[in-house]
A and B are shown apart, each in its own frame.
Chain A
């Protein structure tokens, strides 16, 4: 036990004082904060006034469209039902100033002129509206950067409103009535969880589990790989020979996994502490900066308490496998190939995670939260999204622990033989022989 403690101590100290640890500790929350705040901020930034020309023979239609464009504020959006994740960015608060001129005599020469103005930058774009637009509801928007979807969305929205108003007027609606009809609707999302109903507006409810998912995925992966690298380091530098003169392979492996895991817990502890200091869970700060969208995003204490539990389960499972991989190879380069099958279930977690966050109650989510190689991450995602029934949580953890027990047995056998083997990488039958070798 004393020797295991010494190994733990060495692993811990050597890792905690590296620059990599300090940088990662500071950078991860910053990156996450940036991931939350930056896209919104960037979207909200007005890119300056857009100079746009509407070329339309119907001056009345052009005038309506001009006023719609000039009062453009995507925030009072009426497209809520169709809003997708992509449009959410502009839906909220992204404003764009337009300076609109109207050309009422569209002809080929005008089109050429406008085209060259767009090309030389005198104009940002122009909408070309054919006389039959009211019937076809079609128009063309010419601009330099077609990728600016906010600009083109706003133009098309202005045209749609103008056309609709015109048609409603044709049916006898007054301008005011038409405005009301075409105005936005406000759907208030209420999230019903086992802990009661909380208001949420979708974004926060999606983002928070996603951030937690990334945090647990990154820590499990990074610390698992640390164990592998540590094994390879001892093997390739041949310290292992000296060490084994003083302790058993089991003591060494146990000390290593516990030591590196303690580093991981330290890091998570620092993040949690920093988060608590910065506000409730750290996300409140991000919430304030972003306004509405994150105001309801908060982590419950249960979720916070379960983070280290699932980190430890995931880390222990993967670090055992990574230790075995490290023992099988002679160098980091060789490990690259061999670690891939081990890492695969982790990557799979990330791939399906979005679906699980959207709907944590599908059969896929259930089974992945039971399968021991994915359960620590997927179950945690489910927990952070909506607390699953207690029996599911208990079963998931129990299965995970049972698998861990088997993995420790298996890995320690591979490790014990592997660390003394140099030269060519073992084949699968050889590894089976190692496991049976007592």
Chain B
């Protein structure tokens, strides 16, 4: 299958600081790809290189099978994390201007913009200035700006942040429609629940390096059914027993934990029942969030011990 984007040992350094360190991954045509990582991991720096805002110090980036060119970049849609449109201009003017920069004729841009505005229930706002809109509405306009020229490859940095549940749902449906049309989507986010439901593949980066890469399904299977979700009332001192529990995320009366290697889940349940009333006990695949935290912690430790 054709590759939409290929990053090969891409490195970007600002002064002494290595923002992106020999990063390699590729995105297949038509998939939804998650670029994950904690704040400051190098996600934005990587994206800026993908759309040619900055150039890599070394390594190569290929887009649609060719090195970066204006023609290729015009087929890319970009939703930046820090939203940016002209506040004093009307919604329609903003949209038409940005679409024309991508080579779309005015009339066509207007037609498409109206369709999208209707879809996101912004039909009556075309002639309002951007600054009159709420943050969530501006966000939807920004998304429309990114898709108006029908890009084959969309780069969306935190697209769901600031959206209410109804808008999130509308956006998710829009994304799935785009995927059905065969468009490739790159998500950059640290919201794992979204990624878990939408992404086909992920690349987790930390300190500019790729620390986990592959199809989401395979990654999860690789981690095995070693996680336990437990609802309880009372105390669970066993959480601090390294012989039973590798790590955990306690919410007070709900806990997600990873069983220590070699430990028996049955013994864990027995021990738990002695100190607490157990309402639910389920052995599951680890959630992406667990994998994320686990991987980030271990790689950060590794980097820390090197330094």
Contact = CB atoms under 8 A, between A and B. Distances in A.
A and B are interacting partners: yes
Interface in B88-119: 88-89, 97-98, 100-102
Interface residues of B, number: 25
Nearest to B83: A238
24 contacts: A6-B100, A6-B101, A10-B97, A14-B86, A14-B88, A14-B89, A233-B87, A237-B85, A237-B86, A237-B87, A238-B82, A238-B84, A239-B85, A239-B86, A241-B53, A241-B78, A241-B80, A242-B84, A242-B85, A244-B53, A245-B51, A245-B53, A246-B98, A420-B48
Interface in A214-271: 233-234, 237-247
A234 B82 CA distance: 12
A246 B100 CA distance: 10
Given A10-B97, A237-B85, A246-B98, 10 more contacts: A6-B101, A233-B86, A237-B87, A239-B86, A241-B53, A241-B80, A242-B98, A244-B51, A244-B52, A245-B52
Nearest to A251: B101
Contact of B73 (A14, A241, A245, A420): A245
A3 interface: yes
The 5 closest A-B pairs by CB, nearest first: A238-B84, A246-B101, A239-B84, A241-B80, A245-B78
A10 B100 CA distance: 11
Q: Which of A14, A233, A234, A241 has the most CB of B within 10 A?
A: A241
B145 interface: yes
Nearest to A433: B15
B206 to A, nearest CB: 22
Contact of B101 (A234, A237, A238, A247): A247
Interface in A337-358: none
A6 B96 CA distance: 11
Contacts of A233: 86-87
Interface of B: 48, 51-54, 73-74, 76, 78, 80, 82-89, 97-98, 100-102, 145-146
Interface in A1-20: 3, 6, 10, 14
A247 B146 CA distance: 15
Contacts of B74: 246
A148 to B, nearest CB: 50
A240 B84 CA distance: 7
A97 to B, nearest CB: 57
A241 B101 contact: no
Nearest to B98: A242
A420 B84 contact: no
A237 B82 CA distance: 8
A183 to B, nearest CB: 66
- By secondary structure, the B interface counts as loop
Contacts of B87: 233, 237
- By secondary structure, the A interface counts as helix
Contacts of A3: 101
Contacts of A420: 48, 53-54
B185 to A, nearest CB: 15
A436 to B, nearest CB: 13
B88 A241 contact: no
Nearest to A2: B103
B102 A246 contact: yes
Q: Which of B73, B86, B87, B89 has the most CB of A within 10 A?
A: B86
Nearest to A430: B15
Interface in A298-313: none
A243 B101 contact: yes
B83 A245 contact: no
Contacts of B102: 246
Contacts of B101: 3, 6, 243, 246-247
B225 to A, nearest CB: 42
Contacts of A241: 53, 78, 80, 82, 84
A242 B100 contact: no
Contacts of B83: 238
Contacts of A247: 101
B175 to A, nearest CB: 19
Nearest to A5: B100
B90 to A, nearest CB: 10
Contacts of B84: 234, 237-242
A216 to B, nearest CB: 28
B166 to A, nearest CB: 25
Contacts of A242: 78, 80, 84-85, 98, 145-146
A14 B54 CA distance: 29
B161 to A, nearest CB: 14
A14 B85 CA distance: 14
Interface string A410-435: 00000000001000000000000000
A237 B80 CA distance: 12
A89 B76 CA distance: 69
A48 B261 CA distance: 107
A424 to B, nearest CB: 14
Q: Which of A234, A240, A246 has the most CB of B within 10 A?
A: A246
A168 B74 CA distance: 95
A240 B51 CA distance: 13
B228 to A, nearest CB: 43
A237 B130 CA distance: 11
Interface in A266-319: none
Nearest to B102: A246
A246 B149 CA distance: 11
A246 to B, nearest CB: 4
Contacts of A14: 86, 88-89
Q: Which of B53, B87, B145 has the most CB of A within 10 A?
A: B53
B170 to A, nearest CB: 21
Contacts of B98: 242-243, 246
A244 B87 CA distance: 18
B56 to A, nearest CB: 14
Contacts of B52: 244-245
Contacts of B85: 237, 239, 242
A245 B98 CA distance: 10
